[in-house]
Amino acid sequence: MAARAPGASRFRFRLRSERVLSREERIRWTIVSIVMWAVAILFLMPFVWMVVSSLKREIDVFRLPVQWIPDPLTWSNYVEVWTGRYPLTKYIGNSLIVAIARVVGELFTASLAAYAFSRLKFRGRDIIFILYVSTLIIPHQMLLVPRFILYRQLGIYDTLWALILPGIFTVFGTFLLRQFFLTIPQDLTDAARVDGASELQIYWRIILPLSKPALASLAILAFVWSWNDYETPLVMLTSEDKFTIPLGLTRYFDESGGFSAALISAGAVSSLIPIFIVFLALQRQFIQALTRSGLKG
């Protein structure tokens, strides 16, 4: 238990990030910062390795001990990846189309369903929800073959729809958003209902704006998953011009299982750029000073 009232006068209460810190707190946060940055180096390693490998000759990529500075510096991998026979720009384009379509679609359907599961009562709601969530358990490889048969019947085999459509109707997004929506106080919605707002209005005007961080995190996760998905495109697409990035990168594998690590690294680094952009853009949701004085009691 910390000391009582005498310390209180030192605090001026504003939003947390703007609060003036006590000396004790400043020391604590300095230590935390140092630790975080030290650990961050470990987290940066795969990225650094990718960048470094993309600038090496193939024979140097796996030399031990690791050369962290490529010698000689080889730019040819990037030249090959961007202007060679496999069109990286097309793959990035396809990946973007699929990812954006999926994210927009998923945000829409999942938030609607999550709203229902968290704030509306109807018969069987909880049972359906449990069944819903339980379907996450089946390894998705088991669904590859049945889905293949289904998509052929639907005529979407070897089209980008085969990648987009299943991604729009996910259980995961519904689950995530439901948990977030549950933390929004009931009295807000109750008050609005009493005032005569329709559910759709409550959903649109109240819940969604309050859930920006949750929506942003779902968007990021869904985007990344779509971006890195390898197995579904592999089974569902055969035309090279529809390939997404992970599939495009397999062009650098040969038939015996070996692959050009340097080329693939160059391709992978190149394909990370859109993700960084998306992440940094959606980041702002977390940093924005949220003025909530009226809403949170």
Site residues for other proteins, 65-94, by CB under 8 A, read: 65-66, 76, 85
Closest CB to other proteins among residues 89, 134 = 134
Nearest distance in Å: CB 70, other proteins: 13
Q: How far is CA 18 from CA 9, 23, 137, 287, 291, in A?
A: 16, 15, 43, 12, 13
Q: Of residues 174, 242, 248, 266, which one binds other proteins by CB under 8 A?
A: 174
Closer residue to other proteins, CB minimum distance, 89 or 295: 295
The DSSP line for 214-230 is: HHHHHHHHHHHHHHH--
Select from 98, 163, 176, 266 the one that contacts other proteins (CB under 8 A). 176
Q: Which residues pair with 141 in a beta bridge?
A: none
Where helices occur in the chain by DSSP H, the ranges are 23-54, 58-61, 76-83, 88-119, 125-134, 141-154, 161-168, 171-182, 186-194, 199-201, 208-210, 212-228, 231-236, 245-249, 261-287
Q: Pick one of 169, 201, 273, 281: the residue that binds other proteins (CB under 8 A).
A: 169
Span 222-261, contacts to other proteins by CB under 8 A = 224, 227-228, 230-231, 234-235, 238, 240, 246, 249-258, 260-261
Residue with tokens 């089209």: 159
Q: Which of residues 108-167 bind other proteins (CB under 8 A)?
A: 108-110, 112-113, 115-117, 120-123, 125, 128, 130, 132-150, 152, 157, 165-166
Q: Quick one: which of 96, 100, 208, 221 contacts other proteins (CB under 8 A)?
A: 221
Stretch 41-60: interaction string toward other proteins, x if CB under 8 A? -xxxxxx-xx--x---xxx-
Q: CB 54: neighbour CB atoms within 10 A?
A: 24
At closest approach, how far in Å is the CB of 200 from other proteins? 9
Nearest to 81, CA basis, from 277, 276, 269: 269
Q: Smallest gap, in angstroms, from Cβ of residue 130 to other proteins? A: 7
- C-beta closer to other proteins: residue 89 or 145: 145
Measured CA to CA in angstroms, residue 130 lies from 62, 125, 184 at distances of 47, 9, 21
* Binding residue for other proteins, selected from 168, 207, 222, 266, defined by CB under 8 A: 168
Of 28 and 205, the one with the shorter C-beta distance to other proteins is 28
**Shortest Å distance, C-beta 93 to other proteins:** 18
Fill in the per-residue mask, 178 to 207: x = in contact with other proteins (CB under 8 A), - = not in contact: -xx-xxxxxx-xxx-xx----x---x----
Residues in contact with other proteins, total (CB under 8 A)?
149
Distance, in Å, from the CA atom of 189 to the CA atom of 192, rounded to the nearest integer, reads 5
Asked if residue 13 binds other proteins (CB under 8 A), the reply is yes
Helix (H, G, I), strand (E, B) or coil at 53: helix
Residue type at position 156: I
Please answer whether residues 160 and 94 qualify as being in contact, where contact means their C-beta atoms are separated by less than 8 angstroms.
yes
